[in-house]
Amino acid sequence: AVRLVESGGGSVQAGESLKLSCKASGFTFTRACMGWFRQTPGNEREGIAVVDHNTDAIWYAESVKGRFTISQHWGFTTLYLEMNSLQPGDTAQYYCAAYPFPRYGCEARTDLFPNWGQGTQVTVSS
C-alpha cells in the first residue's frame, strides 16, 4: 500500500525558512505526480506545488511562487518542500500527496490525488 509520512513542520518567525520532508513507500516515482497541499481551518485544501515526472514540469501556486521549491531525493524516495521567506499567511497544515498512475496530467486538484500523508503543521509568527 502507498504510505506517505510528512515531517519538518514547526513554529518559526516571519522571514525564516523550513524544509518539509515526505517519505514515500509502496509505489515508484517513475511516472507519478507528487505534490504539496495545505489547508487552514474553514478553508478548502489547496495545492501549492506539484511535480509531473512524465514531463518534469513543476507548478507552484501564485502565493508561494519564488519562495517555495519542490524537489525529490530519489535514493530515499523522499519529497521535499523548501520554504523560504515564510509569512504568517503560510500558517497551515501541510500535506504530501501522490498520484502514482496518472491517467492524464498532474493538475493540482485534491480530488485527483488518491494518496495522502497525515499532515504536518507549519506556524509562522510575525
Query: Residue 17: which residues within 8 A CB-CB, separation 6 or more?
Result: 82, 83, 84, 85, 86
Q: How does pLDDT run across 33-78, given as a tens digit for each residue? A: 999 999 999 999 999 999 988 888 999 999 999 999 999 876 668 9
Q: What is the mean pLDDT of the chain?
A: 93
Q: How does pLDDT run across 20-33, given as a tens digit for each residue? A: 999 999 887 778 89
Residue 89: pLDDT band (50, 70, 90) is very high
